Structures are given as structure tokens and as C-alpha cells.
Structure 1
Amino acid sequence: MKKKLFYGLIILSGFITLSCNEHLVGIQLQQTGFSNWQLLRPSQNDGSYYDLFFLDENNGWITGDSGKILYSSNGGLNWEQQNSSIKEKIHSITFLNNNIGWACGGRYILHTNDGGASWQVQFYDTDPTQLPNPKIYFQILFVNASVGFAVNNYGELYKTKDGGKHWIVEATWSYRGAAHLFFVNDMVGYVFTMKEILKTKDGGNTWQKFDYKTPLCTGIYFTDEKEGWSLAFVPTNSMIINSPIYKTIDGGMNWTFVDSLPDAYLNDVNFLDNKTGIILGATKIFTTTDGGNNWEVAADFSQTDIRFVDIAVVNKKNVWVSDYKGVIYKSSY
């Protein structure tokens, strides 16, 4: 029998304030879409977690410290550990179907053909010029079973054309640090770095660079080849912390300020259709129902110890969020 999560309920100023177990002090939920968050996995105090990925309503994975990969076959209700075969932090994971997937972290790129029951090292960066500060692979993405991309902290984009058996450097940029990968389809894709955007229209064979003049990018999403969204982080000493969001309607060439949301850090953005969108902050979850013109707080976790890091969206009925301690919630619109 599952332990009951919520013990009290108080209606306050249009929000529902929930008092709950030791993992939460109180949550404020607006009575709108994405307001019914269910705790699926409390913190196990077993290190930090990074990437959350769901293939469908049942099959999901989350990655963490020390080579940790957890797998769920029932929508996140239960999780079992898989053997990644490495001890590095795993920053990113992706699957094409129930069997074929990839993950990356540290110097490694991993591959599985059996849903993660076994993982093999497909690529290991042994560049001696990078010691004692080796490259770290932050994100991996495949557009089909053959073509995939990975970015590292040394300003390099790697590409494979044979399912990960061989990788080559396809593009570089001057700034070192994390970068964000996003593909709209097999042909059109983006890499967002700290200072510039790389765009491809031919499946990653060639890349166009142009300046990205907004603040530090923390997340991107494109609804089609023209319309896209960018989240930003602005360091400040002020007690009032807001994070801006930007929109493009010309495929990333120009960006317009849309709004500034009341959270210190915005992690990710996703649109479920052309009207309904969701943004995951560090402590708040924001939603829009008018295509991003207006955003409102759907859930406020700022009075808890939750610090979100990732969101996974399959459809309106299946949306998950995770925090850095591996706490996982699920909601539907």
C-alpha cells in the first residue's frame, strides 16, 4: 500500500496549498491546467539526477551520478536501476523505440539495443590534449536510427551516420560550456551556445552561424521550422529575480522579448500544441493557453526543497517533471 502523500488542503488566494510529507513543506497549485501533480518517486538521497526521458506513457528513464540510469515500465510508478557500465555522471539519454537508445556523460557515449537491460560504450574520448580537464558530453540526440548528434563542453558538435559506431566533429564554436541541441525534423536543427546559434537545414551536413544576443540560454523549443522559444538566465544581485523568455518567428534569425517569469532559473520549455505550452522553472511551473503570449504560474514549489531540472512530455495526459534529487511528479492538462 502506498503512503498517502497529502495530509491537508487549504484554499488560499486562488491557489490550493498542500501540506505533505517530509519531502515537501507546501505546494501552491493554481486551479488550471497542470495543477494535479502526483508524486511518483520521492527522494532516495542517492545523489544528483539530470535528464528525464519518456518514450511513451509507460517507458521512461532518468539519469544521475556515478553512471546511474533508472528505468520505469509503468509511467514512473516504479523504477529499477540499469547497469550503464560506467561511473561518470550521465547527463543525457534518448530512445528511438523500446529497444534502441543512447546516453552520454563524462567522456562516454553509450548505446543499448535491449531497452537498457545492457549498455555498451560506443565512444570514449581519449584526446590527450584535454587532460587533466577532459571533455564532458552534455547532450545526445538522434533523428533516426543512423543519424545522431552530441555536444560537449569544448565547443564541439559530433555527428554519426551509422548509429553511433563512428563519430566525427561536424561543427565547432569558440565558447566553452554547455550547449543545447534541438531538431525540428530530420533536416532542420539548432545548437544554442552561450553567444551564438548554429543552424542546419540539411540534416547536419552544413551549419550556419549567427549571433545570439539574448542572455545565457537555458532551454529551447521549436514548434515548427519558423516559430521557436528560448529561455534565458540573467545573473543579478537583486532580491527580485525574474528570468526572460524570447520568441522567434523567422527560424531563429531574430528574437523578441516576450515576458519575464518570476523564477531564478528556467530549465525547459515544451509545447503540446500550437496554443498549450509549459515552462519548467527551478521552483515553479508555468503554462500558456494562448500560444505563449501570456504565461501564468500553474504550480509553485518555492516553499519546498524541490529544485527542478527536467521535464518530459509525451502528450497532454502524460507530463513528468524531476528535480536534482530524483524526485518525480506527473501531471496532465
Structure 2
Amino acid sequence: MTEYRAPTGAALSSVDFVTASRGWVVGGSTILTTADGGGSWQPLPEPCPLVRTVHFISPAVGFAVAGGSRPLAGLLPAPAGAIPPAGGVLLTTDDGGLRWHRLAAPAGVQTVCFTDRERGWLGAGGRIYSTLNGGRSWTLAVRGPYGTARFPGLAEVECAGPGAAWC
């Protein structure tokens, strides 16, 4: 493993590779991309609000959560009077991250992953949603015994295959 320090000095918060050579990292006000496995990195324009996490399904198509704050519930004890994490917005790109476009999503987006261009999973407001149309609409994916299952400390959804995700 090679440690990489962003030229801006920003703490990097998310990394995703679609091949051994093609990847992206984000953090602070930085989005970087590599085509040589991390040997060199090139900056990409940062959308507003700032991207916190990225997930690409091909060298061109990716999804991101921007704005808000990342939840730490379950990882660190919350101090008394702490403000709960704020959700962000869902973004997509079809040009490798040069331009980002907002997608409609449930309130409080914290995490997203896609298995292909159409099928994806989203964590928002302590709930898990799925899409079969590239994020144009979202359906509640997990229901508990009394209606809706909630995951108040949901920090990450990671795709495990076309019909499965880990959280």
C-alpha cells in the first residue's frame, strides 16, 4: 500500500477503482483521478457542494454523495449535545468526473453504490433504498416487522452484487 498526500493537504475521505489502473479519490475540496494505478494523479473540477464519497461503475459513469456530513455513529461515541450528521445530495457523472449532475433522492443521503448503470443502493435518513432505473426513482428496500426498518448509525452501503448490498 502506498500513502498519498493530496497536493491541497486535504484529508482524503473516499477512494474507488474500477480497474487496477483507473481510480478516483475525494476529500476536503479535492477530487483526483488516476489512469496508472496511483502513480500520478490529476485534479478534477470540484462540484458544489463538495463531494464526500465516490462510487464508479466504469471509467466514465460514477455516483457521489456531496455536502452534508459523514455519520460516525457506531464508530465513535457521540459527545453530549452533538448535532446528528446531515445528509447530502446525490450526484452522477458520465464523463469520468469532469461534470456532475444532481439526481433526485430521499432526504438525508449518506452513502450510495451501484452494481451497474441501472441498479443501485442508497443509505439516507437511517433507511436503505434501491433503484432499478439509474437513480431516477428510489424504493424503500428493507422493511422491518413494524413497517420500516431504520439503521440510525448507517455509515456505508457497499454493493455486493446485482441484488445485494452490505451496510
Q: Which residue of 2 aligns with 1:85?
A: 7
Q: Is the 8 A contact 1:187 1:201 kept in 2?
A: yes
In the alignment, the residues of structure 2 paired with residue 111 and residue 187 of structure 1 have an alpha-carbon distance, to the nearest angstrom, of 23
What per-residue deviation string (whole Å, max 9, x for no partner) do you get for residues 5-26 of structure 1? xxxxxxxxxxxxxxxxxxxxxx
Distance 1:113 1:152, change over 3 A: same
In the alignment, the residues of structure 1 paired with residue 20 and residue 165 of structure 2 have an alpha-carbon distance, to the nearest angstrom, of 29
TM-score, structure 1 normalization? 0.37
Equivalent in 167, 174, 186 of residue 100 of structure 2 = 167
Q: Which residue of 2 aligns with 1:214?
A: 150
Deviation at residue 227 of structure 1 after TM alignment = 4.4
Deviation at residue 159 of structure 1 after TM alignment = 0.5
Query: Does the alignment pair 1:106 with 2:28?
Result: yes
Aligned AA for 1:199? S
Aligned AA for 2:140? F
Q: Which residue of 2 aligns with 1:244?
A: none
What per-residue deviation string (whole Å, max 9, x for no partner) do you get for residues 41-88 of structure 1? xxxxxxxxxxxxxxxxxxxxxxxxxxxxxxx2xxxxxx4x43532222
In the alignment, the residues of structure 2 paired with residue 97 and residue 224 of structure 1 have an alpha-carbon distance, to the nearest angstrom, of 17
Query: Does the alignment pair 1:201 with 2:132?
Result: yes
In the alignment, the residues of structure 2 paired with residue 149 and residue 162 of structure 1 have an alpha-carbon distance, to the nearest angstrom, of 11
Q: Is the 8 A contact 2:12 2:28 kept in 1?
A: yes
Q: Which residue of 2 aligns with 1:180?
A: 111
Deviation at residue 222 of structure 1 after TM alignment = 5.0
In the alignment, the residues of structure 2 paired with residue 115 and residue 88 of structure 1 have an alpha-carbon distance, to the nearest angstrom, of 20
Q: Is the 8 A contact 2:34 2:41 kept in 1?
A: yes
In the alignment, the residues of structure 1 paired with residue 104 and residue 90 of structure 2 have an alpha-carbon distance, to the nearest angstrom, of 5
In the alignment, the residues of structure 1 paired with residue 137 and residue 7 of structure 2 have an alpha-carbon distance, to the nearest angstrom, of 34
Q: Is the 8 A contact 2:127 2:151 kept in 1?
A: no
In the alignment, the residues of structure 2 paired with residue 198 and residue 215 of structure 1 have an alpha-carbon distance, to the nearest angstrom, of 12
1:23-172 alignment runs, 5 A limit: 72=1, 79=2, 81-125=3-47, 127=48, 135-154=49-68, 155-172=88-105
Q: Is the 8 A contact 2:131 2:139 kept in 1?
A: no
Q: Which one has the largest radius of gyration?
A: 1
Deviation at residue 172 of structure 1 after TM alignment = 4.0
Q: Secondary structure at the match of 1:123?
A: coil
Q: Secondary structure at the match of 1:111?
A: strand
CA RMSD of aligned residues (A): 2.6
In the alignment, the residues of structure 1 paired with residue 164 and residue 63 of structure 2 have an alpha-carbon distance, to the nearest angstrom, of 22
Q: Is the 8 A contact 2:112 2:158 kept in 1?
A: no
In the alignment, the residues of structure 2 paired with residue 113 and residue 86 of structure 1 have an alpha-carbon distance, to the nearest angstrom, of 20
In the alignment, the residues of structure 2 paired with residue 136 and residue 98 of structure 1 have an alpha-carbon distance, to the nearest angstrom, of 26
Aligned AA for 2:134? G
Q: Is the 8 A contact 2:63 2:113 kept in 1?
A: no
Identity of aligned residues (%): 26
Query: Does the alignment pair 1:190 with 2:101?
Result: no
Q: Secondary structure at the match of 1:109?
A: strand
Deviation at residue 158 of structure 1 after TM alignment = 0.9
1:302-317 alignment runs, 5 A limit: none
State the number of aligned residues.
141
Aligned AA for 1:220? V
In the alignment, the residues of structure 2 paired with residue 167 and residue 227 of structure 1 have an alpha-carbon distance, to the nearest angstrom, of 26
1:173-322 alignment runs, 5 A limit: 173-175=106-108, 179-204=110-135, 206-210=136-140, 213-216=149-152, 217-230=154-167
Aligned AA for 2:51? Y
Deviation at residue 100 of structure 1 after TM alignment = 1.4
- Provide structure 1 residue ranges, at least 5 long, that are not aligned to the other structure: 1-71, 73-78, 128-134, 231-333
